[in-house]
Amino acid sequence: MSFLKVFDDLPDDGTRVGFFNQQLDDYRGRKTPKQKNRPAFGWHQMFRELREKRPVLQMSLPPRVKGAEPTQMFVFSRWHDVIDILRQDEIFTVRPYARAMDPSVGPFMLARDGVCPVRDEKSDMLSVLSSEDELTISAIAREASRSALQKTGGRIDLVKEVSRIVPVRVVQNYFGFPSSEDASSTLAQMLRWSRATQHDMFRNFTGDKKVHATNVRAGEDMRVHLRRSLGEILHGARPLGSDAVSRLIRRAQADRDFIELDRLVSNVCGFLVGAVETSSQAIVQIVDYLLREVPDAIEKETIEAANADDNRRLVPIVWETLRFNPVSTVLLRQVAKDYVLNSYSERYVIGDDDAGLKKQNRKRIAELKASHRRIIQGNEKTTIPKGSYVIAAIGSAMFDEEKFPRADEFLTSSPEREDCNYFHFGWGAHKCLGEISGRIIVTETVKQILQVDGLKLFPGEAGEINFGKPPKGRLKGPFPEKYVVGIK
């Protein structure tokens, strides 16, 4: 039974979209709900089939207004096609995210495309985040991890006590997110704000109104706190430090045109929104996959590298592990204007000025044209209409044999695995602002966890990552909520 056979037999009234979404919840389809007697495939098998047989999958979303035309959705599953989408941000826009971001944290760069003042603020933020800070970030993450892991009693909940706490400490002590006088209250607030905003902005797949309302309240509360705290720093009531916020404020004090307070507040909100839940999920999924799925030799090598504090060996293993168990397999975009898709990627066609080479490789070119056809139902050209949604399947792209040779094998050496080909932090204009800190938070925390004596999985559901209550029609909730492992 193939995914496409089942998919094509379903009505195109939103049922196909639901079936597609269900496969995204598990790598192998072992846990995807088998609703209405339909088989489960999992995202790995589904995307493999799409890359080979239908690199652009088309389906319809049900209309929001009765009698209106359904909105089209297109899924791109090959590496180069995903890159094409992410690099053309004025055509494939991030508008869908603005509905959740703007009423919560205010107009924000991650929901803007093209040239505009809000979008330009990304360069301002990057100007105060330097690769020279790597040792500082690493020290904060290491100290926070070690402190959290000083637990005895034979078990520890890595989500509650480690993977959510470490990113918060980096947001506080490196980014400079201001704290209130009550440290425990600040921690609880930050965790609540980060979860509520990240949930609606990036994981509210069903458009749940309660989730949206919780996000808006959290964003409003966060902005009130930051407006007061940052205002005090700007006017000298609080001292400046060496953190990123202090650097921004020094620039603002020196240049009144640099950034106004409300824009500063929105961007500092972004430090918290983007750092905690994604890092936490990456940490626990990497640890779980290493303990549960990889061959014993790789697990042994990883633990040896962690104990030796050998990042040269550990880092490639960490990111390869996340390829098999990623935080997200898809990115959503909306089409700003009609886009014509040719039947095969022009990059595979050798030009007329290379006539000799073209003749010599005629057979190979024919094979490439055939294997990289992007036809939908046999059309020579396909127009993706303005307003359609596009899914850039980054999880699929990281198994495209063109960029990941022997894709189903766990490999960590170049040229089989080049760091620039991964999509763990996105790609293009909207690549993660906190990539440097994110890499360090995840790697350092995983390292400290793997150094714990007697680290082990518990059998059955007790030893699995608990994602909380799932929305209707899905297997998982938005984030890992609990992950208990055994320790000495």
The pLDDT tens digits for 102-160 are: 999 998 888 888 766 656 777 878 888 888 899 999 999 999 999 999 876 889 999 99
Euclidean distance between CA atoms 2 and 199, whole angstroms: 32
Give the angle subtended at the CA of 258 by the CAs of 256 and 263, to the nearest 5°: 105
Q: Which of 303, 302, 300, 296 is nearest to 320 (CA)?
A: 302
Residue 139 sits in the same domain as residue 258: yes
Residue 451 sits in the same domain as residue 354: no
Residue 355 sits in the same domain as residue 233: no
Does the pLDDT of residue 297 top 60, yes or no?
A: yes
Residue 91 sits in the same domain as residue 227: yes
Residue 224 sits in the same domain as residue 354: no
Looking at residue 131, what is its pLDDT? 80
Neighbours of 172 (CB within 10 A): 21
Looking at residue 129, what is its pLDDT? 85
Q: Higher pLDDT residue, 382 or 125?
A: 125
Looking at residue 359, what is its pLDDT? 52
Does the pLDDT of residue 357 top 50, yes or no?
A: no
Tokens of 207: 């458009």
Residue 365 sits in the same domain as residue 468: no
Residue 438 sits in the same domain as residue 399: yes
* Domain range for 277: 78-343+379-486
Residue 306 sits in the same domain as residue 359: no
Would 4 be classed as within a structural domain?
A: no
Q: Do the Cβ atoms of 22 and 475 come closer than 8 Å? A: yes
Looking at residue 64, what is its pLDDT? 76
The rounded percent of the chain whose pLDDT value lies above 70 is 87
Would 73 be classed as within a structural domain?
A: no
Does the pLDDT of residue 365 top 80, yes or no?
A: no
- Domain end (from 375, 395, 420): 375
Average pLDDT score over residue span 345-368: 47
Question: At 401, phi and psi to the nearest 5?
Answer: -60, -25
333 pLDDT band, cuts 50/70/90, is: very high
**pTM score:** 0.89
Would 61 be classed as within a structural domain?
A: no
Does the pLDDT of residue 386 top 60, yes or no?
A: yes
Question: At 58, phi and psi to the nearest 5?
Answer: -110, 140
Would 40 be classed as within a structural domain?
A: no
Q: Which of 105-119, 260-274, 285-299 reaches the highest mean pLDDT?
A: 285-299
Does the pLDDT of residue 354 top 50, yes or no?
A: no
Looking at residue 30, what is its pLDDT? 65
Residue 355 sits in the same domain as residue 464: no
Instruction: Write the pLDDT tens digit of every residue in 203-262.
Output: 997 789 999 999 999 999 999 999 999 988 888 888 888 999 999 888 888 877 777 888
Residue 176 sits in the same domain as residue 251: yes
Helix (H/G/I), strand (E/B), else coil: 432: coil
Based on the structure, what is the number of domains in the chain?
A: 2
353 pLDDT band, cuts 50/70/90, is: very low
Whether residue 415 has a cis bond before it, omega within 30° of 0: yes
Average pLDDT score over residue span 9-30: 87
Euclidean distance between CA atoms 8 and 4, whole angstroms: 6
Does the pLDDT of residue 350 top 50, yes or no?
A: no
Q: Which CATH number covers residue 394?
A: 1.10.630.10
Q: Cα dist. 223→103, 272, 276 in Å?
A: 11, 12, 18
Counts of helices then strands in the chain (DSSP H, E): 19, 9
Mean pLDDT score of the chain, rounded to an integer?
86
Would 31 be classed as within a structural domain?
A: no
Looking at residue 346, what is its pLDDT? 43
93 pLDDT band, cuts 50/70/90, is: very high
Q: Which residues pair with 384 in a beta bridge?
A: 339
Question: At 344, phi and psi to the nearest 5?
Answer: -150, 160
Residue 399 sits in the same domain as residue 288: yes
Looking at residue 362, what is its pLDDT? 59
Tokens of 422: 């991964």
Tokens of 449: 């966890």
Instruction: Write the pLDDT tens digit of every residue in 169-194.
Output: 999 999 999 887 666 678 999 999 99
Would 11 be classed as within a structural domain?
A: no
Q: Which of 16-20, 64-68, 185-189 has the lowest mean pLDDT?
A: 64-68
Orientation angle between helical segments 183-198 and 209-234, nearest 10 degrees: 130
376 pLDDT band, cuts 50/70/90, is: very low
Residue 370 sits in the same domain as residue 388: no
Does the pLDDT of residue 375 top 50, yes or no?
A: no
Would 124 be classed as within a structural domain?
A: yes
Instruction: Write the pLDDT tens digit of every residue in 453-480.
Output: 889 999 999 999 999 887 776 777 889 9
Does the pLDDT of residue 377 top 50, yes or no?
A: no
Instruction: Write the pLDDT tens digit of every residue in 430-448.
Output: 889 899 999 999 999 999 9
352 pLDDT band, cuts 50/70/90, is: very low
Would 154 be classed as within a structural domain?
A: yes
Helix (H/G/I), strand (E/B), else coil: 153: coil
